[in-house]
Amino acid sequence: AEELSGNVSDIHNLWIANSISCKASASVVYKLSSHPDVKIIGYDKEIQVISPEQMKVVEETLVGQVRGADPHVVAVKANEVWSLGYTGKNVVVAVLDSGTNTNHLDLRDHLWTGYVDTNKDGTPDTYVNGWNFVSNNSNITDDYGHGTHCAGIVCGDGTSMITTGIAPDALLMTLKTIDRVGGGSVSNMLNGVQFA
């Protein structure tokens, strides 16, 4: 009723957190605050998720690395289980970050493919490698760099002759929740989309 009256817009069900996100008038916020099922009301402001200083550390870490078992791989003993056949094969890993460079030599052969049923008729409308929650579309291009770096740690296969990730045979589902300047909001990170 409040939406029809123009007091509420942009309603999103954030099913992972059992919450909703919306734009609402002050009167609606006050009404919701007295509802017995509402535990908390918060302002969903955009925050700086990754600082320029953190990105500098990432870039410096990449300089001079050689292909093989990186310190992060050794730290979690991933290299010890590779010989047992645990390389991530048949596993889908979702990385929630700033997107992925889908042309990266270490990642391009590991992209998960699914589909989105945009008109909810039970059939695929768009085949995707993930979802862009910042722009609410299927463009997962990394315009910040951090997401590609993290995806490489997870499932880079070493094709570029630099390093190998922890699970080099895993499939990568990219969920872009961080924008081109390292910012994001809770609704970007929790807004649900159904894949198949």
Summarize pLDDT for 87-105 with one digit per residue, the tens: 999 999 999 999 999 999 9
Other beta carbons within 10 Å of 14: 16
Q: How many helices (H) and strands (E) does the chain have?
A: 6, 9
Confidence category of residue 186, pLDDT binned at 50, 70, 90: low
pLDDT of residue 13: 77
Task: Compare 181 and 192 and report the one with higher pLDDT.
Answer: 181
- 66 pLDDT higher than 50: no
Q: Which value, to the nearest 10 degrees, does the dihedral of the CA atoms of residues 98, 55, 187, 115 take?
A: 10
Count of beta carbons in the 10 Å neighbourhood of residue 92: 14
Contact assessment for residue 61 and residue 47, using Cβ atoms and an 8 Å cutoff = no
Question: Measuring CA to CA, which residue among 12, 18, 8, 3 is closest to residue 133?
Answer: 12
pLDDT digits (tens, 9 = 90+) for 120-176: 788 887 889 998 988 888 999 999 889 999 999 999 998 887 778 899 999 999 999
Reduce the DSSP state of residue 174 to 3 states and report it.
strand
